[in-house]
Amino acid sequence: MAEQLKGITVALAGPRKAEDMAKLVENMGGTALHRPAQGTTFLDDAALREGLIAWTEQPPDLAILTTGMGLDALFETAAKLALADRFLEVLSGSPVAARGYKTVNALKKRGLEPVVRDDDGSSAGLIRGLQDYDLQGKRVMLQLHGETAPQLIGWLEQAGAAVSCVQPYRYTQPEPGALELLLTEITEGQVDAVAFTSAPQFRFLAQHAREQGQLAALVQAFEERVLAVSVGRMTSEALKEEGMKRIVMPEHERMGSMFVTLGRYIAANR
């Protein structure tokens, strides 16, 4: 496995843990390029504070957590408001549904366990987990990830729940020029693979390509020359929405597994 990426150049589209991912690629003999296709803005603003105060003053019948990073951000804001103990008490006192292993781990380190969780790391998987849960007339607090979740919110409301949302951060466009550089490297075959760790990374790239009249060239490059590597199902869905068919994805949503799976795919197709 140590040399499975020998001679392979991998563009890393994720801004978070880019150094850790680069080390993984280099330890497998490859070359890593930092090409963040997304920014992240934390929202320590009035809306977030109001959401936390509402959450702690009127505990919901069900809390739905979608990211470990978001839960950490909520606790950081709660600490600034001197509400950390109360927030933990409220979370401990109401059922919690969780999406993704990082969310489950973030709960575990605080002594909490979800009563419902997804089966595959996606919002659709979370909905499947909630199918038998009686939501009629229930108040649900939903911690959004970096973008809105219309499918999940729509399903909850159809099931009879009253949904309130709190969003600790949102995904934003990367630095000017970053998407143009990555698009050029992909369409000109200067990289062998691109690793995506969230759906917005590909959405921002695809939108930029569309604006430049290069979307068809981007998709063709991924189908013929450059491997699209996805960390998990939610990220893969964003690729599929634009017609992508060749996607390398690990069975379990882990950064390390993503590159091991890439290595195996390359070894099998050399």
Same structural domain, 144 and 206 = no
The per-residue pLDDT for range 41-88, each reduced to its tens digit, is 777 677 788 899 999 999 999 999 998 888 998 999 899 999 999 999
pLDDT digits (tens, 9 = 90+) for 208-232: 999 999 999 999 999 999 999 999 8
The answer to whether the CB of 78 falls within 8 A of the CB of 214 is no
Give dist(CA 148, CA 126) in Å, integer.
15
Handedness of CA 190, 27, 102, 51 (dihedral sign): negative
Model confidence at 125, in pLDDT bands (50, 70, 90)?
Answer: confident
CATH classification of the domain holding 34: 3.40.50.10090
The terminus-to-terminus CA distance of the chain in angstroms comes to 14
Mean pLDDT of the chain: 90
- pLDDT for 148 equals 74
Pair 118, 200 in one domain: no
Domain boundary among 171, 194, 212: 171
Please count the structural domains in the chain. Answer: 2
Please tell me whether residues 99 and 193 are part of one structural domain: no
Tell me what pLDDT residue 44 has. 61
Same domain for 57 and 32:
no
Q: Mapping DSSP to helix (H, G, I), strand (E, B) and coil, where does residue 246 land?
A: coil
**Which DSSP category does 242 fall into?**
T
* pTM reported for the whole predicted model: 0.76
Task: Give the residue among 236, 227, 181 at the shortest CA–CA distance from 203.
Answer: 236
Q: What is the pLDDT of residues 162-176, one digit of tens each?
A: 999 998 877 888 887
Tell me the residue range of the domain where 190 lies: 9-38+175-269
Asked if 134 and 197 sit in the same domain, the reply is no
CA pair distance 83, 81, nearest whole angstrom = 5
